[in-house]
Structure 1
């Protein structure tokens, strides 16, 4: 038995309609924006989702470090465990992104187990197999006291039947809004907890996949994982899940879970739109700077990374502009010579930050924070 999808309240319908409008507006904006900087935005959002979802599980890697790892950079100052978890999650997320428009797509137990192997294959062990249903009990323990189980998942013997029911549910269609179905899929999977480890990230990834399959926005613009990874939201995430009970009891009203997800969808849409606008304004400011100072236009990519992410590495700049090693090195040396950038570190671990002649207006735009609106506030 799975959780029944609750009916939406009038306030839920209003918020959902606002989310739909924001996502549709962003889709049109992306279609008309220059690809030079929207490509960087896509990579950032992917990295941010990976960093946030992993951080919920205790693997702390900054988004900018995830961006560097995604670019193939090896000299990133993080632990080997964090590196392995980041690269595994990024590989799985990349595959999920390719599935958003797959023509011959279907949900199956095999697909879910294959995704789990991508995520946890590097940790595969006889007692905690990756890509296979768990063979024993699994618990979610209290952060402060591991001797206390805040949630006990269904018995291992029940997992195959429950997962077969979930796959049937994923395959069938109903009249629920796709965003609501995606939220319910997250709840179903995280409550069944079918694997020995990685259940939270798998549940969030399934939600991302379902939203992406809807086809309104590209996958990197669809995830709420970055929103869930903010400390206050992570705490509330666990609270809302915890109020479902300490054991699997799907015969209950989960309207609170849907409302929580609708807030996440709404505020993440606000966040992505704000970064989209900020990125565009920074690009314009840097274009003006390059024109007035006689810099080659391709250097804007490196400067944009510094303004938006705080630094740039030669590897990323080289890839973004399709340059060879010598060209990228020559360009960055020129920016250092002009004191637009400053190098930090030596040889392969070197990266570049804003120097004294970096255009301050671009930094001011990039650093301007966004105020998020509670979509339910108007109805309270």
Structure 2
């Protein structure tokens, strides 16, 4: 038995309408914006989702470091464990993003276990197998006292039937809004807890996949994982899950879970819109600066990374602008000589930050914080 999908209140429907309007407007804005800086935003959002979802599970890697790892940088100062977890989750997320427009797509147990192998294959053990349903009990322990089980998952003998019911439900249109269904899929999977490890990230990824399959926004814009990874929101996330009880009790009202997710969708849309606006204003400011300073237009990309991410690496700049190694090195050397950038570190680990002559107006725009509204308090 799965959790029944609750009916929406009039307020829920108003919030959902707001989300739909915001996402549609965002889709048009992304379509009409220059590819260079929307491409950077896509990479950032993917990296932020990976960093946030992993952080919920205790793997702490800054978004800018995730971006560097995604670009193939080897000299990133993170532990080997965090590196492996980041790259595994990024590979799985990349695959999920490619599934958004597959015509003969269908959910199945094989798909879920394959995604789990991408996530946990590097940790595969006979006692805690990756890509296979667990063979014994599993517990979610209390964050303050690991001797206390905050949640005990269903017995492993129930998994074949529960996962079959879930995949049948995933492949059936029950008439509920796709965003509501995605939230319910997250709750179903994380409550069934079919694997020995990685259940939280798998459940959040399934929600991302379902939103991406809806087709309103590109997959990179569809995840709420970065919203869930903010400390206050993570606490609320755990509270919502804890409110479901210490054991699998699907015969209950989960309206508060839906409200929590609608809030997440709404505020993530606000966040992406805000970053898109700041990114565009920053780009235009840097375009004016490079024109006045008689710099090549391509250097805007490097300067934009510094404003939005805090730094730029040679390999990232070279790849984004399709430059030769010598061209990229020369541009960064010239920007450094002009005092616009300053290098940090040596050889392959080197990156560049804002120098004394970097246009601080661009930094001010990029770093101006935005205010989020709670759609249920409006």
Which TM-score bucket, shorter chain as reference?
Answer: over 0.9
Per-residue Cα deviation, 1:181-218 (whole angstroms, up to 9, x for no partner): 00000000000000000000000000000000000000
Which residue in 2 is equivalent to 1:148? 148
2:13 is paired with a residue whose SS is helix
Distance 1:69 1:314 in 2: 14
How far 1:357 sits from its partner (Å)?
Answer: 0.4
Distance 1:209 1:104 in 2: 15
Distance 2:70 2:315 in 1: 11
Map residues 34-113 of structure 1 onto 2, 5 A cutoff. 34-113=34-113
Distance 1:25 1:138 in 2: 43
**Does 2:330 match 1:334?**
no
Per-residue Cα deviation, 1:332-361 (whole angstroms, up to 9, x for no partner): 001100010000000000000000000011
Which residue in 2 is equivalent to 1:281? 281
Distance 1:321 1:199 in 2: 38
TM-score (norm 1): 0.99
Per-residue Cα deviation, 1:313-335 (whole angstroms, up to 9, x for no partner): 01110111111211111110011
2:7 is paired with a residue whose SS is coil
Distance 1:102 1:336 in 2: 46
Count of aligned positions: 378
Map residues 252-331 of structure 1 onto 2, 5 A cutoff. 252-331=252-331
Which residue in 1 is equivalent to 2:365? 365
Distance 2:3 2:315 in 1: 47
How far 1:104 sits from its partner (Å)?
Answer: 1.6
How far 1:174 sits from its partner (Å)?
Answer: 1.3
Map residues 121-140 of structure 1 onto 2, 5 A cutoff. 121-140=121-140
Compare 316-325 and 66-75 and name the one that shifted more.
Answer: 316-325
Which residue in 2 is equivalent to 1:244? 244
RMSD of the alignment, in Å?
0.4
Distance 1:345 1:336 in 2: 14
Where structure 2 has 5 or more consecutive residues not aligned to the other structure, the ranges are: none
Where structure 1 has 5 or more consecutive residues not aligned to the other structure, the ranges are: none
TM-score (norm 2): 1.00
Which residue in 2 is equivalent to 1:191? 191
Distance 1:69 1:326 in 2: 22
2:352 is paired with a residue whose SS is strand
How far 1:98 sits from its partner (Å)?
Answer: 0.3
Which residue in 1 is equivalent to 2:31? 31
